[in-house]
Amino acid sequence: MQSRFWSTASSALVFVNWVFFFTVTMLIGSQAGGFDWLSMLSWSSFLTDLSLMFELGLVPSGSVWIAWLLLSVCWSVVWLGKTPAVEQAPQVAPTITPAKPQDVVNERQNAIESRPDVQEKLRRLNRSLSQA
């Protein structure tokens, strides 16, 4: 029950993250007059820009947006790759009924004696015993 809750919660968080991401992207696009601002982002140096955060410096919003995009993609790939939480019924152990020893002996004796080569050998043995 608890794993189903966490599975539902993680699904909701992934969905809400992408809704917020696309909402922010649309708002930036509407303010910038289109999506040309994506080509002006510093794609090659956004990690360097993010390191300014540790020095309490100004971090460009484009670098934050790129980091959000990459983290969202990674989070979604991990979420898609995980196995779903399925409640399994407890497995019942099979019951094994012990066979009677005499039944096992009779069954094996019948299996051995039913072979044609064994039957021929038994006939020869009986003939030799009856002649002696």
Note the pLDDT tens digit of each residue in 58-106: 888 888 888 889 999 998 888 888 766 566 667 777 777 776 777 777 7
Note the pLDDT tens digit of each residue in 21-52: 999 989 888 888 888 888 888 888 888 888 88
Burial of 18 (0-12, 13-18, 19+ CB in 10 A): middle
Q: pTM for the complete prediction?
A: 0.55
| Contact criterion met (CB below 8 Å) for 86 and 1 | no
Note the pLDDT tens digit of each residue in 5-15: 777 888 888 89
Q: What is the pLDDT of residue 16?
A: 92
